[in-house]
């Protein structure tokens, strides 16, 4: 239990920021915080007096301007979406928001001045303070949110009753749902691209999709989604389906639908997912298509698994990849982004003891835990705003397919998850050339197939520079493309919507920022650029297949299959 003293004074809209007091209370709070136990943190707070005086003087100037605005009854206007509504322009609530933003800004400036040598410790402290700042926003509380108060009056209290029902429902589910759960049905209005499940084992179902063009390329595309999410992010509604788009371009598409792990595979390891997942999917796709070489695509951790599988096969003398596409994938975890703040030896050891099989304690890593973690990486956009709308204002959550998918969590076997934490995020072993996977030494530098890498500029899960680092590991001809937006919206960006942009460059320097400085921005989706690239490795074009599966692998059930429908 966290017995640290309260740390709320600097988010109170009626208490001005005082640099020395803030520094002292921050020091006390850090000393009592479990994340920093055993660390020599006292040196972090030895800030030069001149710096504190300068911060205080600058704050005083801005506070005086704010006070003048209040005294002269000038209306407030905010670019921050939490306070953008007209109700926040009135003096009382506007001043609350303005002082909160001012205090928050100067607290973050104070953090920047702390002499913390460890980059990870600075990142961890910054993350925690950002969480506290986000939690302390006046918009999060009924008595300081004018929009929620107005709605309460307008509805004669019905909005509060509805909000309590939403809260009770979410508490029962164990998660803050960001979407109306009744708006979508997998197989009804999501994951509707026609296909058949042509193989399954305890780890995955393999879906072969029906052609969506009169002719097809000879060489199939095998898609590996992340095992920690359900595959239909790549097959949402028809107009935004990456799978359907690839089919319309003439590519035969096979896709791995990972099982939502339950107790029957709670002891499964990373090696099991590579051997019985990746390598088995490649083998069956080869058998059904009659093609020994495939175009392979991995998304996020699906790409990490896929690269490991190819490394194992290369060590065994097999090279099944005509090309490789990795979407927002980390192979080198040196720049692992904000998720790195959650990983250290103590945390990994705890997971290994409780669910990882150490001492015989096997279990599942719950999808709700990962979903909540991802939401807290962007607390104002993915957490508190939904609480305000649902609980304070009593409004029904939006009906958005991407948010529905985001709340459709999956679980992972404890040993597999713990291996990933230790050997990827904690020790960065996957790039080392010495790691043992499936009885083979994993050497990613042995992968020499043509590769298409995609990072996204605002990705908070896989920083684009981390995705770019794969260009230094893989030895084949490589094309790196940078998409706008984030981890999901930057990938699921169909050309027909004519949204966002992407960057390309014909040069591939070692430094990612040097690459960006030479890159050219293009309007719209990167999908067209990928289509042009992939067509080079797709083989001859001929009549589309008339039937799915084969004599050895007959269709088992229609897509989307039963695995994607499994929940708890």
Backbone angles phi, psi at 300, to 5 degrees: 55, -130
Tens-of-pLDDT digits for all 568 residues of the chain? Answer: 344 444 444 455 556 788 898 899 889 889 888 888 878 888 999 999 999 999 999 999 999 998 888 888 888 899 999 999 999 998 889 999 999 999 999 999 999 999 998 888 898 899 989 988 999 999 999 999 999 999 999 999 999 999 999 889 888 877 777 777 778 999 999 999 999 999 999 999 999 999 999 999 999 999 999 999 999 999 999 999 999 999 999 999 999 999 999 999 999 999 999 999 999 999 999 999 999 999 999 999 999 999 999 999 999 999 999 999 999 999 999 998 888 888 989 899 999 999 999 888 999 998 878 777 777 777 887 788 888 999 999 998 878 888 889 888 899 999 999 999 999 999 999 999 999 999 999 999 999 999 999 999 999 899 999 999 999 999 999 999 999 999 999 999 999 999 999 999 999 999 999 999 999 999 999 999 999 999 999 999 999 999 999 999 999 999 999 999 998 7
Tokens coding 401: 């397919």
Look at residue 356 in the predicted model and tell me its pLDDT: 95
Look at residue 304 in the predicted model and tell me its pLDDT: 98
How is the chain split into domains, by residue range?
Answer: 9-154, 196-337+426-548
Look at residue 280 in the predicted model and tell me its pLDDT: 98
SS3 426: helix
Look at residue 14 in the predicted model and tell me its pLDDT: 56
Per the listing, tokens 């920047």 go with: 112
Look at residue 86 in the predicted model and tell me its pLDDT: 93
Element (H, E) at 508: none
Rounded distance between C-alpha atoms, residue 478 and residue 480, angstroms: 7
Backbone angles phi, psi at 296, to 5 degrees: -115, 140
Q: Please tell me which residue in 179, 300, 418, 438 is annotated as part of the active site.
A: 300
Architecture of the domain defined by 196-337+426-548: 3-Layer(aba) Sandwich (3.40)
Element (H, E) at 204: strand 204-209
Look at residue 176 in the predicted model and tell me its pLDDT: 78
Cα 292 from chain centre = 33
Q: Are 306 and 298 in contact (CB under 8 A)?
A: yes
Look at residue 474 in the predicted model and tell me its pLDDT: 96
Q: Does the annotation count 179 as an active-site position?
A: no
Rounded distance between C-alpha atoms, residue 393 and residue 260, angstroms: 34
Rounded distance between C-alpha atoms, residue 534 and residue 305, angstroms: 21
Q: Are 216 and 252 in contact (CB under 8 A)?
A: yes
Look at residue 104 in the predicted model and tell me its pLDDT: 93
Q: Would you mind telling me the total number of residues written for the chain in this entry?
A: 568
Angle, vertex CA 471, rays to CA 466 and CA 474, nearest 5: 120
Nearest Cα neighbor of 536 from 323, 252, 253 is: 323
């Amino acid at each position: 239990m966290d017995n640290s003293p309260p740390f709320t004074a600097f988010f109170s809209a009626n208490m001005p920021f005082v640099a020395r007091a803030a520094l002292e209370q921050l020091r006390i709070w850090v000393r009592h915080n479990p994340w920093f136990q055993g660390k020599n943190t006292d040196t972090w707070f030895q800030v030069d007096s001149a710096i504190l005086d300068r911060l205080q003087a600058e704050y005083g100037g801005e506070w005086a301007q704010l006070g003048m605005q209040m005294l002269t009854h000038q209306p407030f206007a905010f670019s921050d979406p939490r306070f953008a509504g007209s109700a926040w322009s009135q003096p009382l609530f506007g001043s609350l928001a303005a002082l909160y933003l001012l205090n928050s800004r100067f607290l973050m400036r104070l953090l920047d001045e702390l002499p913390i040598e460890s980059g990870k410790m600075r990142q961890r402290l910054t993350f925690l303070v950002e969480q506290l700042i986000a939690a302390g926003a006046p918009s999060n509380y009924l008595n300081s949110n004018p929009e929620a108060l107005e709605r309460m009056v307008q509805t004669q209290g019905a909005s509060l009753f509805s909000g309590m029902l939403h809260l009770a429902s979410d508490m029962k589910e164990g998660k803050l749902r960001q979407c109306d759960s009744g708006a979508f049905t997998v197989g009804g209005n999501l994951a509707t691209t026609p296909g058949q499940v042509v193989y399954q084992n305890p780890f995955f179902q393999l879906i072969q999709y029906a052609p969506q063009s009169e002719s097809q390329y000879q060489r199939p595309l095998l898609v590996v989604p992340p095992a920690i999410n359900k595959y239909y992010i790549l097959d949402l509604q028809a107009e935004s389906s990456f799978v359907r788009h690839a089919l319309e371009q003439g590519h035969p598409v096979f896709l791995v639908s990972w099982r939502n792990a339950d107790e029957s595979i709670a002891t499964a390891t990373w090696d099991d997912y590579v051997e019985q997942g990746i390598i088995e999917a490649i083998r069956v796709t080869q058998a059904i298509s009659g093609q020994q070489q495939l175009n392979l695509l991995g998304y996020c951790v699906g790409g990490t698994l896929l690269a490991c599988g190819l490394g194992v096969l290369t060590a065994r003398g097999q090279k099944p990849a005509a090309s490789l596409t990795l979407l927002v994938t980390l192979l080198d975890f040196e720049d692992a982004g904000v998720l790195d703040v959650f990983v250290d030896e103590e945390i990994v050891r705890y997971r290994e003891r409780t669910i990882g099989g150490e001492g015989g304690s096997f279990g599942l890593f719950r999808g709700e835990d990962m979903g909540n973690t991802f939401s807290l990486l962007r607390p104002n956009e993915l957490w508190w705003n939904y609480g305000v709308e649902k609980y304070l204002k009593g409004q029904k959550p939006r009906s958005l397919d991407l948010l529905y998918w985001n709340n459709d969590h999956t679980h992972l076997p404890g040993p597999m998850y713990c291996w990933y934490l230790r050997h990827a995020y904690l020790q960065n072993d996957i790039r080392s050339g010495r790691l043992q996977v499936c009885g083979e030494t994993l050497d990613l530098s042995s992968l020499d197939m043509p590769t298409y890498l995609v990072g996204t500029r605002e990705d908070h899960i896989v920083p684009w520079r981390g995705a770019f680092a794969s260009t230094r590991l893989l030895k084949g001809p490589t094309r790196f493309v940078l998409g706008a937006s984030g981890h999901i919206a930057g990938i699921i960006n169909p050309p027909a919507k004519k949204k966002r942009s992407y960057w390309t460059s014909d040069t591939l320097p070692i430094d990612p920022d040097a690459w960006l400085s030479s890159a050219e921005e293009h309007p719209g989706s990167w999908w067209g650029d990928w289509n042009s690239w992939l067509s080079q490795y797709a083989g001859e074009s001929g009549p589309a297949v008339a039937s799915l599966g084969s004599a050895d692998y007959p269709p088992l059930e229609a897509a989307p299959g039963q695995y994607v429908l499994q929940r708890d």
